[in-house]
Amino acid sequence: MKHNAQLDQSTADNNHSSSSFEFDDIKLKVGDRLQIKSHTYSKTFCGSPNSDYCTVHVIGYVPEKTLIIYLPETSRIVGNPFLEGEQILVRFFNGQCIFSFNVFVEHVAKLPFKYIHLSFPKRISGQTIRKSIRIKSNIETKITLNGQSYDGNITNLSATGAEVAIRADLGEKGNTIDIALDVELEDTTISLSLRALIRSFQISKNEIGVLMYGIEFIQLTSDQIGTIRSYIYKELIDHHCKVI
């Protein structure tokens, strides 16, 4: 493994360490999701309103020859967003690292479904994301304590916990609460019901009557962990300035 390569500066910060990888190192599998965008011009119609990245799926590859991706039929991918000869920036998140590489569109097929042959990656950069990376957020949530529910707002989020702003007294450090929230992934809304421990609290400096609670998630399932990490990754791509 070679070191000291730089990844796209939009995600480079003190929360990451950067390295260079060979294709076999990233262990790409059929079905894995990739984020791709064109270097030619911005195509915001194929991404979210805040990003020109599209989510595609790996359907195969031939080493040193081609990487084949499938464009799913969603409202975020309209028409033929990529043309033969275009240079494409590709990103892949494996739960611990963000990988990045440049390739070219070699062939666009429309039948029996839309798929693209890309040139095979030659140089791959990667950055390890620390487990405790935290992003700013504005997610409505419902907190339940001793059978009583309260509306709140998640102001920042990590894979291990969150900060919650709420106009309610949730009690002392160490109390167990239930927290419900929805996150958007691609065209799907996923509802999460999580358990958490109160680790800290303070009075908000910005809003009268609001308490700020630091909470730690407990007893998460592998699916819940995967969903939270995928959401954080999406926010890093769409709103990289939100890293705190």
DSSP 8-state code for residue 225? H
Same domain, 6 and 124: yes
Distances (CA, A) of 54 to 67, 146, 186: 16, 43, 9
pLDDT score of 30? 93
Task: Name the band, by pLDDT with cuts 50, 70 and 90, for residue 190.
Answer: very high
Task: Name the band, by pLDDT with cuts 50, 70 and 90, for residue 232.
Answer: confident
Q: What CATH number does residue 223 fall under? A: 2.40.10.220
- Residue 210 is part of which domain span? 135-242
pLDDT score of 35? 86
Same domain, 141 and 82: no
Same domain, 205 and 181: yes
Same domain, 50 and 21: yes
Q: Domain ends where: 129, 157, 189?
A: 129
Structure tokens belonging to residue 80: 């033929």
Q: Average pLDDT of 226-236?
A: 84
pLDDT of 231 strictly over 90: no
Q: Domain ends where: 77, 96, 129?
A: 129
Q: Average pLDDT of 104-119?
A: 91
The pLDDT tens digits of the residues spanning 117-152 come to 999 999 999 877 666 688 899 999 999 999 999 999
Determine contact, residues 194/217, Cβ cutoff 8 Å: yes
What is the pLDDT of the chain when averaged over all its residues? Answer: 82
pLDDT score of 33? 86
pLDDT of 164 strictly over 60: yes
Q: Which residues of 85-113 are buried (b: 16+ CB within 10 A; e: fewer)?
A: ebebbbbbbeeebbbbbbbebbebeeeee
pLDDT score of 77? 52
Q: Average pLDDT of 167-176?
A: 92
Same domain, 90 and 76: yes
Lowest-confidence range among 1-15, 18-32, 139-153? 1-15
Lowest-confidence range among 10-19, 103-112, 220-229? 10-19
Q: Average pLDDT of 81-96?
A: 85
